[in-house]
Structure 1
Amino acid sequence: MPTYRFLHRPSVQAWFDEFYATLGIMHDIQNAPAKIAVLFMVFSIGSVYMPDNDRPGPLDLSAQYFLAAEHQLRKEKGSIRLTSVQARLAQCCYLLTQSRINHCWSLFGTVSHLALAIGLNRNRYQQDLSRGLGRIEVECRRRTFWCAYTLDAYLSAALGRPRSFHDDDIDAELPACVDDAYLTNDLMITPVAVSKGPSTMLAPLGHMKIARIISHILRDLYSVKPVSAEQRLAAMKSISSDLGDWRAEFSRFLDVDLFSASLLVSIFQRQRNVLNLTYWHAIILTHRSFVLSNFAGLLRQNDSSVKNNQHVKDSVEKCIDAATKTVNTIEDMAQQNQLFRSLWITSYFAFNASIILYIYAIQHRDCPPEEYADQFEAAERCQRHISAIAEKGSLSERYWLVLEELRVEVLHQTGRNNQISSGSDNGDASVGVDEHGSAAMYSDLAASGTVGGPDATVHDFPISDYSGWGNFTSMVSSGLSNLDVLLGDDFSLPG
Structure 2
Amino acid sequence: KRQKVTRACDGCKSKKKRCTGEQPCMPCLKLSSKCTYEAQYNRGTTPQETRETPPLRIGIDRDVAQTPCLPAYGLFSDTIDGVARPGSARQTPEIDEAIDGQYLGPSSAQSFLGKALRRLDRESVQTPAARQGKHIETETSTLSFGDAKVKQPDIAQFSWPEYRTATRLLERFFEFASPTYRYFHEPSVSEWLERIYNKSDVPVVAQACILFMFASASVFAVDRSGDTVDANSQGWESSEIYYQKAEALLAEETGPPRLESVQARFAAVQYLLSSSRPTRALYAFGTTVQIMQAVGLHRKRSERAGRQGLDMIAVEVQRRLFWCVFTLDKYLSIVMGRIPLLRVDDTNQALPIVVNDEDLAPEGIEQHASGPGRDSLLLATRAHVEIGLILARASQEQNRLPAITGRTHVEAAVRGTEEIRDWKSKLPPMMSGVIHPESLIPCFRRQHSILTLARLHAVIFVTRPLLLRNLSNELPELERRQYREQLRSCVQAAREAIENINGSARYQVLYPAFWFSQYVAFSAISIIHIYIIQMSRYRVPTNLFGPSFEEASLMQLKTLYELALVGQSRLAEAGVNSAPVWRYRPILETLSAQTSRCI
Q: TM-score range by the shorter chain?
A: 0.7 to 0.9
Residue among 321, 329, 342 paired with 1:144:
321
How far apart are the structure 1 equivalents of 2:503 and 2:367?
33
Instruction: State the distance in 1 between where 2:564 and 2:530 align.
Output: 10
| 280-289 vs 367-376, which moves further | 367-376
- Residue 260 in structure 1 maps to residue 431 in structure 2: no
User: Aligned match of 1:383 in 558, 568, 574?
Assistant: 568
TM-score, with normalisation over the residues of structure 2?
A: 0.62
Paired residues for 1:341-420 under 5 Å: 341-365=512-536, 368-394=553-579, 398-411=583-596, 413-414=597-598
Quote how far apart the aligned CAs of 1:11 are. 0.8
Equivalent pair of 1:47/1:55 in contact (CA under 8 Å): no
Q: Within 2, Cα distance between the matches of 1:16 and 1:38? A: 10
Shift of 1:214: 0.7
Measure the CA separation in 1 of the matches of 2:534 and 2:329. Answer: 33
Q: Are the counterparts in 2 of residues 34 and 72 from structure 1 also a CA contact under 8 Å?
A: yes
Structure 1 moving runs of 4+ over 6 Å: 52-58
For residue 38 of structure 1, the aligned residue among 200, 205, 209 is 209
Deviation of residue 55 (structure 1)? 7.7
The question of 1:282 aligning with 2:448 is answered: no
Q: What is the rounded CA distance, in whole Å, between the counterparts of 1:53 and 1:229 in structure 2?
A: 44
- Shift of the alpha carbon at 1:331? 2.7
> Deviation digits for residues 431-459 of structure 1, max 9, x if unmatched?
xxxxxxxxxxxxxxxxxxxxxxxxxxxxx
Match status 1:199 vs 2:376: yes
Per-residue CA deviations over 1:60-104 (Å, capped at 9, x if unaligned) read 221222122222222222211111111110011001111111211
Change over 3 Å in CA distance of 1:336–1:268 after alignment to 2: farther
Q: 1:96 aligns with which of 264, 273, 281?
A: 273
Contact between 1:191 and 1:198, CA under 8 Å: does it hold in 2? Answer: no
Distance in 2, Cα, partners of 1:304 & 1:390: 42
Q: Show CA shifts across 1:249-304 (max 9, x none).
A: 00523334x453211011111110110111111111101001122x2xx568xx56
**Paired letter, 2:208:** A
Q: Distance in 1 between matches of 2:414 and 2:536?
A: 30
Corresponding residue number in structure 1 for 2:446: 270
**Closer, same or farther: CA 314–172 of 1 in aligned 2, 3 Å:** same
Structure with higher RCO (Cα < 8 A, 6+ apart): 2
Structure 2: runs of 5+ lacking an equivalent: 1-177, 223-228, 538-548
| SS of residue paired to 1:60 | helix
Q: Does 1:166 align with 2:343?
A: yes
For structure 1, which segment, 75-84 or 188-197, has the greater mean C-alpha deviation from structure 2 after superposition?
188-197
Instruction: Pick closer, same or farther for the CA change 1:394–1:54 going to 2, 3 Å.
Output: closer
**Contact residue 359 and residue 370 of structure 2 kept, 8 A:** no
TM-aligned CA distance change 1:69 to 1:97, over 3 Å = same
Kindly state the Cα deviation for residue 20 of structure 1 after the two structures are TM-superposed. Answer: 2.8
Deviation at 1:246, TM superposition (A): 0.7
Listed as ranges, the matches of 1:164-313 within 5 Å are 164-189=341-366, 193=370, 196-250=373-427, 252-256=429-433, 258-293=434-469, 295=470, 308-313=479-484
Q: Distance in 2 between matches of 1:364 and 1:304?
A: 19
- Deviation at residue 138 of structure 1 after TM alignment: 0.5
- Could you give the per-residue CA deviations for residues 30-84 of structure 1, whole angstroms, max 9, x where no partner exists? xx23212112111111212235898897752212221222222222222111111
Task: Tell me the C-alpha RMSD between the 2 structures.
Answer: 2.9
What TM-score do you get using the length of structure 1 for normalisation? Answer: 0.74
Which protein is bigger by CA-based radius of gyration? 2
Q: CA deviation at 1:317?
A: 1.3
Aligned residues: 402
Secondary structure of 1:5 counterpart: coil
- Distance in 2, matches of 1:58 and 1:102, equals 23
1:213/1:259 CA distance change after superposition, 3 Å? closer
Distance of 1:309 and 1:226 partners within structure 2? 20
Show structure 1 runs of 5+ residues with no match. 27-31, 417-495
Do residues 120 (structure 1) and 320 (structure 2) align? no
Instruction: Kindly indicate whether the alpha-carbon contact (under 8 Å) linking 1:178 and 1:191 is maintained by their aligned counterparts in 2.
Output: no
